[in-house]
Chain A
Amino acid sequence: MRNLTAAFLATALLAGCAATPPPSLVAPELFAVIPNAAGKAGSITVQRGGQSHVIDTPYGAQRIDATGAVVAGKLEAAAVRDAFGSTLDALPGKPETFMLYFLEGRDELTVESRTELEKVFMELKRRPLPDIVVIGHTDTVGNLTFNDRLSLQRAERLREMLVGLGIAGDRIQAAGRGKRELLVPTEDNVAEARNRRVEINVR
């Protein structure tokens, strides 16, 4: 296994955090944030010995050395590729999402979405072993219980349609989110066509 120690460019922060070394050596560890396709980085925290170290820059890293000390630094993209190449290659493809819309208060697709369903079906069929999660949503007309039920009904209706088109039922899960996740934010009790939708997530 290629060791990352050589590639790790520690920003000399050691001086500030020189602690008494722990009695025994630990396995060196490395944590790093990878930017997404758009170049943006998320963030992680590394907690050790009651201290929390945040990493929130692309290729920002924290390393725990053999003495147990935590050292901040930054990695080169090439070094990450070198050390984690086969690991990163094994990451499954990013999930895809499709959206279909429903008639107000009902579990029936709009005319446009009925046509769209054909296209979605073709996309789903291209995946060798799709994990499909169908998530129903509503607009804000009606109370929480009503909308939770309606959203699940929409999801289950869509699941039936996909099964009808020939996708194996055991690959599809249905869930309802009610009015908890509006696509277009509105006040309560507002009819909004774009919120009456089902999200089809495929992994």
Chain B
Amino acid sequence: MRNVLIVSLFLAIPATALANDIGQVKVAKGGVQIERSGALLPARVGMAIQATDVVHTSADGSAGITFTDNSLISVGPNSVFAINKYSFDTTTHAGEFEGQLRKGKLAAVSGKMVKQSPESMKIRTPSAIMGVRGTEFVVQVDDKPAR
């Protein structure tokens, strides 16, 4: 693919935010990196995921992540997926999951927060907002066509 990967370093990550672990990398094939606080870390199985992490995959890369509310996400090759917001209350099952697929492919299975409150999980794309009411779905964002 021709696209230049632009790594945005302008995410609003307060330096003091000590985000709790919200999930874990369960599958990491090929090139997978996690962007956290401006640094790109190679993803490994077992690595903890935090709110505001951004997953980058290369042409041979794919990653699978489990979240604390039992949501499952996989990011396909040549993709950029940002976790903008994540919170989950294990007692009330209230929560908020806002992801952003900037490009590439995503497959997901929703978890407990969506069961408790439909559309508490949202996936943003460059042109739309997807609200999740339940179960499995796939999303793809192609390259922008040249004019």
Number of A residues with CB within 8 Å of any CB on chain B: 58
Judging by beta carbons under 8 Å apart, are B24 and A176 in contact? no
CB contact list, A22-36 vs B, under 8 A = 24-36
**Which of A26, A27, A43, A173 contacts B133 (CB under 8 A)?**
A43
- Bound-complex Cα distance A88 to B72 (A): 11
B134 sits at the interface (CB 8 A): yes
Inter-chain contact B27/A84, CB cutoff 8 Å = no
Chain A residues lying within 8 Å of B74, measured Cβ to Cβ, are 87-92
User: Which residues on the B side are within 8 Å of A35 (C-beta)?
Assistant: 136
Indicate if A182 sits at the interface (CB-CB under 8 A).
no
> B66 an interface residue at 8 Å Cβ cutoff?
yes
**B137: chain A residues within 8 A (beta carbon):** 31-34, 42, 44, 55
Contact in complex: B144, A90 (CB < 8 Å): no
For the complex, give the distance between the alpha carbons of A84 and B46 in Å: 24
A75-99 at interface with B (beta carbon < 8 Å): 80, 83-84, 86-95
Closest to B27 in A: A90
Quick one: given A87-B105, A91-B72, are A32 and B130 in contact (CB under 8 Å)? Answer: no
Contacts of B140 in A (CB 8 A): 4, 29-30, 83-84
Q: Give bound CA distance, A32 to B29, whole Å.
A: 24
Rounded to whole Å, the gap between the CB of A64 and the closest CB of chain B is 5
CA distance A66 to B127 in the complex (A): 10
From known contacts A42-B110, A47-B128, A90-B75, infer whether A24 and B147 are also in contact, taking CB-CB under 8 Å.
Answer: yes
Q: How far is the CA of A148 from the CA of B90 in the complex (A)?
A: 12
Among B92, B128, B141, the one with the most A-chain Cβ atoms within 10 Å of its Cβ is: B128
Contact of B144 with A47 in the complex, beta carbons under 8 Å? no
Contact A29 B106 (CB under 8 A): no
Query: When chains A and B are docked, how far (Å) is the Cα of A44 from the Cα of B130?
Result: 7
Contact of A25 among B65, B134, B145 (CB under 8 A): B145
Residues of chain A with a CB closer than 8 A to B8's CB: none
B142 and A95: CB pair below 8 A? no
Task: Name B29's closest neighbour in chain A (CB-CB).
Answer: A90
Contact status A90-B135, CB under 8 Å: no
- A201-B70 in contact (CB<8A): yes
Q: Whole-angstrom distance between the alpha carbons of A83 and B105 in the complex?
A: 9
Question: Separation in Å of the B25 CB from the closest CB of chain A?
Answer: 9
B106 adjacent to A47 (CB under 8 Å) = no
Contact mask B106-146 → A, CB, 8 Å, 1/0? 11111000000001000001111111111111111111110
Chain B residues lying within 8 Å of A25, measured Cβ to Cβ, are 144-145, 147
The CB with the most chain A CB atoms within 10 A, among B76, B127, B140, B144, is that of B140
Q: Are A129 and B142 in contact (CB under 8 A)?
A: no
* A39, B82: Cα distance in complex, Å: 30
Contact between B136 and A33, CB atoms less than 8 A apart? yes
CB-CB < 8 A to A64: which residues of B? 125, 127-128
- The answer to whether A48 touches B26 (Cβ under 8 A) is no
Inter-chain CA distance A63–B131, complex, in Å, is 15
Q: Pick 15 A–B contacts, CB within 8 A, sort by A.
A: A25-B144, A26-B126, A27-B127, A29-B126, A29-B127, A45-B130, A52-B131, A64-B128, A84-B138, A84-B140, A87-B107, A90-B63, A91-B108, A131-B66, A175-B91
